Amino acid sequence: MIGGFELGLPATLGLVGATLLLAVVAVRVSTRIGLPSLLLYLGIGLLLGESGLGIQFDDAALTQQLGLTALVLILAEGGLTTRWSDVRPGVGVGLVLSTAGVAASTAVTGGALHWLVDLEWRTALLWGAVLSSTDAAAVFSVLRGARVPRRLAGTLELESGLNDAPAYIAVVLLASAGTVPWWSPLLGLYQLAAGGVIGIAFGWLGSIGLRRAALPATGLYPVATISVCVVAFALAQGLGVSGLLAAFLAGLVLGNSRLPHRAGTLSFAEGLGWLSQIGLFVMLGLYASPSRLPAAILPALVTGAVLLLLARPVSVLVSAAPFRVPWREQVFLSWSGLRGAVPVVLALVAVSQGADGGQRLVEVVLVLVVVLTVLQGSTLSAVARWLRLSDPAGPAEIEVDAAPLEQIGADLLQLRVPTGSKLHGVYLSDLRLPRGATTSLVVRDGAGFTPQPSTRLQEGDGLLVVTTTEQRAATERRIRAVHRAGRLARWLGETGR
């Protein structure tokens, strides 16, 4: 309904299609200006809402349910597209950040808001729990341009995928009526552990089943893969344990196994993740009431200052100090904890649980997400350079696309040598790909030729590399290592992870 008029089906579908096209254009714009596209999606929703075209959408329960559904799909996509080899170096810090870090952030934020804003203790801790989770989509849309070490990026990626689950458990516990029992932390640990077991089990069984299945159409494999993650969430949630963690870990196991039609599956999952993000933030823009947002600016600024200058640094210090993470990296981890869709969904969960002041919390979180995204997103690359964690003059990370050759148990890797890459000038004989991998084609200046060991790579070259499935990961690591450090990468300690 717009302005009191009912829309027919053609007009509704046209509006949805136009919104999606506008959102796709917004991705291009956000890439140019270096901010997460979620802000533009939110703006599209506000333009469509009560203060724009006049679409009325104020159902908090429906918004929470749709938001949680979108979050499950986003987490499943995040797990499927996360390379274990990338996050493994930071797995310890990432795990502690997503558990003890969430607890520390909740406690520090809650305590500060209790004293500064005079919130009742339980309400203050609820606010802290809602804001304790970082957002993977927001973090990595900004990190792409920062060029930080993969260890740091992997830590942030793993944290963002894992910390939604403990934050959700804390919000449900604090928002519900009744006294919080002393054994609640133990219950939370059990819910996380059980949800993790269910997710890993579903991912493992799903990978076996998908490899053995003979589905009648290639397009059914991506649907089945996403369905495994959704069923893992549903089963875990139905058993009273962490469904969000189950969905992410099921995706992580599936994404790092030998999936049939892997390239098509990951492409489908990525598209579904984009669609979920677009739908979620446009819906939140529709749900927001612009007339009430100005009153939330001051508490949002106070809360943001507490979160950014106190709670996040404390949570990083508690989590990273035992692993002897250098202080520069700790500072970067503190500044890169962007908030996005997850805190807004968690605030809506608090509303659906009947928490006192839940609607006010939603408005504060919406304002806070915008403020922190603009502040942190626009400065993250500069902070990385200031901390000497980024090399702006160095080459961008090389992109390697893969397509399966399932009948012969091989994969076809496609890549292009970017400007500044240390692959430039390397002879193929010095590339030293693992046994079972070979460069089958080089495309240079629009002309393709079969390379020889004496062929010397150049910037702009397109390469096709054929590798056995077992050697694919090692082949990708070797290509990345030479891209970063040249033909002596192994001697220089560069592994390509």
Joined together, the tokens standing for residue 30 give: 């956000």
Last residue within a domain, chosen from 332, 354, 386? 386
Residue 55's H or E segment, with its range, is none
Q: Are 370 and 480 part of one and the same domain? A: no
Last residue within a domain, chosen from 386, 415, 444? 386
Q: Are 175 and 261 part of one and the same domain? A: yes
The answer to the question of residue 355 being in a domain is yes
Of 456, 480, 460, the C-alpha closest to 416 is 460
Last residue within a domain, chosen from 329, 361, 386? 386
What is the model's pLDDT at position 106?
A: 94
The answer to the question of residue 352 being in a domain is yes
Show pLDDT as tens, one digit a residue, over the chain (497 residues). 555 545 667 777 887 788 888 888 877 777 666 666 777 888 888 888 776 777 777 777 888 888 889 889 989 998 898 888 778 888 889 899 999 999 999 999 999 999 988 889 989 999 999 999 887 666 666 665 556 777 787 888 888 888 888 999 999 888 876 676 767 788 888 999 999 999 999 999 999 998 887 778 878 889 999 999 999 999 999 999 999 999 999 999 999 887 877 778 888 888 898 888 888 888 888 887 777 888 889 999 999 999 999 999 999 999 998 888 889 999 999 998 888 778 888 888 888 887 888 888 888 998 998 888 888 877 888 888 888 887 554 555 666 766 667 667 788 888 888 888 888 888 988 888 988 898 989 998 888 888 898 889 998 899 999 998 888 888 888 888 888 888 877 775 666 66
What is the model's pLDDT at position 359?
A: 83
The answer to the question of residue 17 being in a domain is no
- C-alpha to C-alpha distances, 301 to 308, 321, 370, nearest whole angstrom: 10, 29, 11
Domain count, the chain: 2
Joined together, the tokens standing for residue 180 give: 């919080």
Q: Are 362 and 412 part of one and the same domain? A: no
**Domain interval for residue 353:** 23-386
CA 84/CA 77 separation, integer angstroms: 14
CA 395/CA 256 separation, integer angstroms: 27
The answer to the question of residue 1 being in a domain is no
The answer to the question of residue 78 being in a domain is yes
What is the model's pLDDT at position 406?
A: 64
Give me the amino acid identity at 260. P
The answer to the question of residue 2 being in a domain is no
Q: Are 343 and 131 in contact (CB under 8 A)?
A: yes
What is the model's pLDDT at position 148?
A: 74
Q: Are 158 and 205 part of one and the same domain? A: yes
Q: Are 375 and 419 part of one and the same domain? A: no
Q: Are 162 and 261 part of one and the same domain? A: yes
What is the model's pLDDT at position 398?
A: 67
Could you tell me what percentage of the chain is helix, strand and coil, using 3-state DSSP and rounding each to the nearest 5? 65, 5, 25
The answer to the question of residue 490 being in a domain is no
Q: Are 246 and 202 in contact (CB under 8 A)?
A: yes
Q: Are 382 and 408 part of one and the same domain? A: no
Q: Are 330 and 298 part of one and the same domain? A: yes
Give me the amino acid identity at 375. L
Q: Which residues contact 367 (CB under 8 A, 6 or more apart)?
A: 293, 296, 297, 300
Classify residue 153 by burial, with Cβ atoms within 10 Å: 0-12, 13-18, 19+.
buried
pTM value is 0.80
What is the model's pLDDT at position 136?
A: 66
Helix (H, G, I), strand (E, B) or coil at 467: strand
Q: Are 236 and 88 part of one and the same domain? A: yes
CATH number where 415 lies = 3.30.70.1450
Q: Are 420 and 316 part of one and the same domain? A: no
What is the model's pLDDT at position 130?
A: 93
Q: Are 302 and 309 in contact (CB under 8 A)?
A: no
CATH number where 368 lies = 1.20.1530.20
